């Protein structure tokens, strides 16, 4: 069975268009200045309707994870795999998968530097994160 493919909505279309272009796009409030993720029409900090999309750096750190040994349909060939929450350099957290490293506690070190990558699924690009080996600095 193939992996599921997200269905963009009007609110999420800029995020998915960015992913297709190899960019991690998130939103920020034009009134309070706070960046946020997941996509929505109102700022979760101050409630303003004045929000914009921007291209994030793609850098993050590993905030939390779980190693899934019992995969959902479509992910059987990937097990075990890491489902993670990453802290973007811009501040927001997002749920994602960690790739490019074994799904073991020894390899998944909290606060490890990560960089966005994109996994192709049919005609969709899905943001995932991999270790940022070239980073010698903190990203959060």
pLDDT digits over 92-131, tens only?
999 999 999 999 999 999 999 999 999 999 889 999 999 9
At residue 138, the pLDDT reads 45
- Residue 34 is part of which domain span? 13-131
Q: Looking at the domain assignment, is residue 3 inside a domain? A: no
Is residue 5 within 8 Å of residue 121, measured between CB atoms?
Answer: yes
Q: Looking at the domain assignment, is residue 113 inside a domain? A: yes
Cα diameter, the chain:
45
Q: Looking at the domain assignment, is residue 139 inside a domain? A: no
Q: Cα separation of 57 and 93, whole Å? A: 14
pLDDT of 73 over the 80 cut: yes
Predicted confidence (pLDDT) per residue in 5-16, tens digit: 899 999 999 999
At residue 136, the pLDDT reads 56
Helices (H) and strands (E) in the chain, counts: 1, 8
Q: Cα separation of 85 and 95, whole Å? A: 4
- Alpha carbon 112 to its chain's center: 15
pLDDT confidence band for 69 (50 / 70 / 90):
very high
Which whole number is the average pLDDT over 37-60?
Answer: 97
Whole-prediction pTM value? 0.89
Q: Indicate the length of the chain as a whole number.
A: 140
Q: Cα separation of 87 and 60, whole Å? A: 5
CB atoms within 10 A of CB 131: 18
pLDDT confidence band for 71 (50 / 70 / 90):
confident
pLDDT mean across residues, the chain: 93
| Percent of the chain residues past pLDDT 90, beyond the cut | 81
Q: Looking at the domain assignment, is residue 136 inside a domain? A: no
How many folded domains does the chain comprise?
A: 1
């Amino acid at each position: 069975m193939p992996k599921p493919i997200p269905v963009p909505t009007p609110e999420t279309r800029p995020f998915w268009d960015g992913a297709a272009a190899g960019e991690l796009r998130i939103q920020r409030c034009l009134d309070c200045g706070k960046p946020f993720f997941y996509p929505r029409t109102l700022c979760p900090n101050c409630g303003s309707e004045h929000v914009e999309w921007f291209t994030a750096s793609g850098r993050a750190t590993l905030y939390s994870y779980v190693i899934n040994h019992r995969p959902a349909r479509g992910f059987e060939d990937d097990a075990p795999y890491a489902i993670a929450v990453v802290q973007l350099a811009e501040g927001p957290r997002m749920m994602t998968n960690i790739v490019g490293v074994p799904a073991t506690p020894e390899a998944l070190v909290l606060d490890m530097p990560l960089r966005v990558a994109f996994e192709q699924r049919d005609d969709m690009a899905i943001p995932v994160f991999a270790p940022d080996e070239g980073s010698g600095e903190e990203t959060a």
